[in-house]
């Protein structure tokens, strides 16, 4: 099996970030270091960060956006500022690849910043090529997967969330 596999986790609904986190934590069991850079999710909630800090130094999580408001809810001026912060996150990801700081790099919602036009397909392809050259496993997530990436990735996992009426008598399961 290749060490520098390029994986995509995509699709509508929930579960993509959780699946990527699971793969990152699984890498820890193989003594691999993991870095996750999240995009389009707003600033990190300090309560959630406490849990992630327990995984350090083998697993590190970074967000470069300053606002707690998700990207799609920002004003145009705020989006422009967020784009600059997202670009800083991309530059950090490139640096991580160049320095070989981790074995697994998760770019959570990078397909979203591609969809938003913050990064071009060519830039993403170059980032993937850089990961291959550095023999780093790269995990990309996002809702919209462009088929133009087919030649660059090794594995695509499509997640689809099915919503059910949890109050139905026919569905007695409790909500998590």
Q: Flag whether 168 is in a domain.
A: no
**Nearest in space to 140 (alpha carbons), one of 126, 130, 155:** 155
Instruction: Give the phi and the psi of residue 173 in degrees, each rounded to 5.
Output: -60, 145
Taking residue 108's Cβ as centre, other Cβ atoms within 10 Å add up to: 24
In this prediction, residue 172 has a pLDDT band, given cuts at 50, 70 and 90, of very low
b or e along 114-150 (b: 16 or more beta carbons within 10 Å of the residue's beta carbon)? bbbebbeeeebeebbebbbebebbbbbbbeebeeebe
Q: Flag whether 176 is in a domain.
A: no
- Counting the structural domains of the chain, the total is 1
Q: Flag whether 171 is in a domain.
A: no
Token match 């145009």: residue?
A: 76
Evaluate if residue 90 carries a pLDDT over 80. Answer: yes
Evaluate if residue 1 carries a pLDDT over 50. Answer: no
**pTM for this entry:** 0.87
Q: Flag whether 173 is in a domain.
A: no
Q: Flag whether 166 is in a domain.
A: no
Q: Flag whether 89 is in a domain.
A: yes
- The CATH number of whichever domain residue 30 belongs to comes to 3.40.50.300
- Specify the DSSP class assigned to residue 44: P
Stretch 146-150: mean pLDDT, rounded? Answer: 96
Domain that holds residue 142: 6-158
**Nearest in space to 86 (alpha carbons), one of 115, 60, 59, 66:** 66
Q: Flag whether 75 is in a domain.
A: yes
Stretch 43-64: mean pLDDT, rounded? Answer: 82
With pLDDT > 70 as the criterion, what percentage of the chain qualifies? 89
Stretch 124-142: mean pLDDT, rounded? Answer: 96
Q: Flag whether 62 is in a domain.
A: yes
CA-only gyration radius of the chain, Å: 17
Q: Alpha helix locations (H) across 9-109? A: 16-28, 46-53, 76-99
């Amino acid at each position: 099996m290749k060490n520098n596999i390029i994986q995509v986790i995509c699709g509508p609904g929930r579960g993509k970030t959780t699946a990527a986190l699971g793969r990152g934590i699984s890498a820890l069991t193989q003594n691999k270091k993991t870095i996750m850079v999240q995009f389009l999710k707003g600033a990190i909630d300090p309560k959630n960060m406490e849990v992630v800090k327990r995984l350090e130094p083998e697993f590190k999580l970074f967000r470069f956006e300053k606002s707690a408001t998700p990207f799609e809810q920002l004003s145009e001026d705020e989006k422009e500022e967020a784009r600059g912060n997202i670009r800083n996150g991309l530059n950090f990801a490139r640096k991580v690849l160049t320095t070989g700081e981790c074995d697994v790099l998760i770019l959570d919602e990078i397909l979203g910043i591609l969809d938003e036009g913050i990064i071009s397909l060519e830039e993403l392809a170059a980032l993937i090529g850089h990961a291959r050259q550095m023999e780093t496993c790269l995990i990309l997530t996002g809702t919209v997967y462009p088929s133009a990436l087919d030649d660059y990735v090794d594995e695509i996992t499509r997640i689809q969330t099915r919503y059910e009426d949890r109050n139905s008598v026919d569905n007695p399961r409790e909500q998590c």
